[in-house]
Amino acid sequence: MNALNINKMTAVVLVLCLTFFLQACGDGGGDNETEPGISNGNDSSVMLIDDGDPGFTKSDPPENWQQGDGYNGDAYWAPTSVDLARHTARWTPTLPRPGVYRLYAYIPKDHSTTTHAQYNIFANGVISIITLNQSLFADEWVLLGAVTFAADGNEYVELRDLTGESGREIAFDAIMWEE
């Protein structure tokens, strides 16, 4: 068995484990609340960054980015890449205080066909990678996990089009931190 097959098997196992975790813990679908924490928009324990908000940046050139429907009416998307990241988005929060935050990503129904979106989370001096099958979700908030943030202004969530897949699409939309 070569390294490529082992990597593919590892990715499948990770996706299956994450899918099981999300189904067991609630993923924002079904009977669960679709927008966790957003019902109280003035609550300082919720931080939301949508594409286009302060705290959201994307790599250039802008003409290579595609726009579609998503949270608050819009989202960005790009074709997935097998070998080179061409599109990178970053969400940098200004959190009110250090602590453990539930981290959510909004997955729009269109242009989210990747099975291997890798959310790189830099928090409290550590980078964690959460792999998510975006194709399982449509217009819903998905829990990425509970993460400890130092609230030092240097932390972020980053998503790139480099998924190891061809012929699929990856969506870049809103990220939410909920205390």
**What's the pLDDT tens digit per position in 147-156?**
999 999 999 9
Contact between residue 84 and residue 61 where contact means Cβ atoms under 8 Å apart: no
Band of pLDDT at residue 31, cut at 50, 70 and 90? very low
User: What structural domains and CATH numbers belong to the chain?
Assistant: 3-178 (2.60.120.260)
What is this structure's pTM?
0.77
Of 13, 18, 25, give the one whose Cα is nearest residue 133.
Answer: 18
